[in-house]
Amino acid sequence: MAEFEVQKTQENLVYSRTKVLTDNVMHYCPGCSHGTVHKLIAEVIDEMNMQDKTIGVSPVGCAVFAYNYLDIDWAEAAHGRAPAVATAIKRLNPDKMVFTYQGDGDLAAIGTAETIHICNRGENVAIFFVNNGIYGMTGGQMAPTTLIGMKTATCPYGRDPKLHGFPYKIGNIVSQLEGTCYVTRQSVNTPAAVRKAKKAIRKAFENSLAGKGVSFVEFVGTCNSGWKMDPVAANKWMEENMIPAYPLGDLKDI
Amino acid sequence: MAKIKGTVVIDTEHCKGCKVCVVSCPCGVLDLSSQVNGKGYNYCYMANPDACTGCASCAIICPDTCITVYRQKFE
Ligand SMILES: Cc1ncc(C[n+]2csc(CCOP(=O)(O)OP(=O)(O)O)c2C)c(N)n1
Ligand code: SF4
Ligand code: SF4
């Protein structure tokens, strides 16, 4: 097939790693949604030519080391407090593009107050929220987002609403607040979903620069290790269980 | 007739053998190798290179951004 040998030239290049990603190998487990979401944020920052003007706030959770992977300015916040830190950064640096990156334990449990109030104040910040239904970093404990019946280290017989309360959709809650301009729920389990998720990230960043208030982008994601599944099975389980409970699509767009 | 052909280059040391690219390729090009990389992962390779169209589905989905894609039109 020598006549069809594709030349690996710049001219023929259709996809390569963005320069906003560092060369570090991510510490995430194989197939983890965090890697895909990091990559998309990096690509959007690159395409918007904002590498020198972006400040991220990383959470406590598996994504605590996000600052090792995206070559931009970062601050690291205490558990759940990324929205408070991002508020200060954005108010002091109004020309910078500021975002938080948070998991569900961080954003929807210990950080609930910060999440609600940044969304109510309408700071010009983008929030990227990875909802994997579990506390990944600490070994797979129940999160507020854990599905009914889902087994975790702290609900080994499955989540029972009588004992553990109900899973809640914090995206729906913040969509009710005046300070949010864009609230959407996305996923990164197929190439088509990844393309859509990337558009949502771009829109969130553009809204923050346009001074429209908080854009809240939730990614329904997987935690293969916490769920005790291989990455392909975890994506399938997510499609069958997580997405029906956390339906994808825009909740608000003004 | 013009033909579009693609090829991919996989950074096998960054690859974690998660297989999400393998199941996302619409042309059945990729598979996991029986060989392992420095971290002990069965990395991904082009098992069926002639079928690649350079659509970049694999590269877009790879959580570790290990895949570079090229595409060329042959007249
Ligand atoms: C104040 C405080 N409380 C508890 C912890 C322990 N802790 C570390 S990560 C984490 C949960 C993270 O879960 P999530 O936000 O869902 O992120 P994931 O790891 O799943 O991406 C907890 C409770 C901490 N580091 N600081
Ligand atoms: S570029 Fe498309 S056809 Fe080629 S290996 Fe990747 S997914 Fe398959
Ligand atoms: S998606 Fe990336 S990390 Fe996973 S097997 Fe394919 S090349 Fe390797």
Residues 6+ apart with CB under 8 A from A167: A133, A144, A145, A146, A147, A148, A159, A245
Say whether pLDDT at A3 is over 80: no
Answer whether residue A16 is part of any domain. no
Answer whether residue A15 is part of any domain. no
Number of domains in chain A: 1
**Per the CB < 8 Å rule, is B74 touching A4?**
yes
| Mean pLDDT, residues A112-121 taken together | 98
pLDDT in tens, A169-197: 999 999 999 999 999 999 999 999 999 99
From the list A7, A34, A232, which residue is nearest B19 (CB)? A232
pLDDT per residue as tens, chain B (75 positions): 789 999 999 999 999 999 999 999 999 999 999 999 999 999 999 999 999 999 999 999 999 999 999 999 998
The pTM score is 0.96
Answer whether residue A238 is part of any domain. yes
| Mean pLDDT, residues A68-90 taken together | 98
Answer whether residue A67 is part of any domain. yes
β A180-187/A214-220 pair status? parallel
| Mean pLDDT, residues A208-232 taken together | 97
Q: Is A82 helix (H, G, I), strand (E, B) or coil?
A: helix
Q: Is A99 helix (H, G, I), strand (E, B) or coil?
A: strand
CATH number of the domain where residue A237 is located: 3.40.50.970
β-sheet with B3-10: strand ranges across = A13-15, B67-74, B3-10
**Per the CB < 8 Å rule, is A31 touching B18?**
yes
Identify the band that residue A83 occupies on the pLDDT scale cut at 50, 70 and 90.
very high
Q: Is A144 helix (H, G, I), strand (E, B) or coil?
A: coil
Look up the domain containing A82 and give its range.
28-132+163-253
* Alpha carbon distance A97, B16 (integer Å): 32
Answer whether residue A84 is part of any domain. yes
Answer whether residue A175 is part of any domain. yes
Answer whether residue A145 is part of any domain. no
- CA-closest residue to ligand 2 atom 8: B25
Q: What is the CATH class of B3-64?
A: alpha beta
B22 lines ligand 2 (CB under 6 A): no
**Predicted complex: ipTM over 0.90:** yes
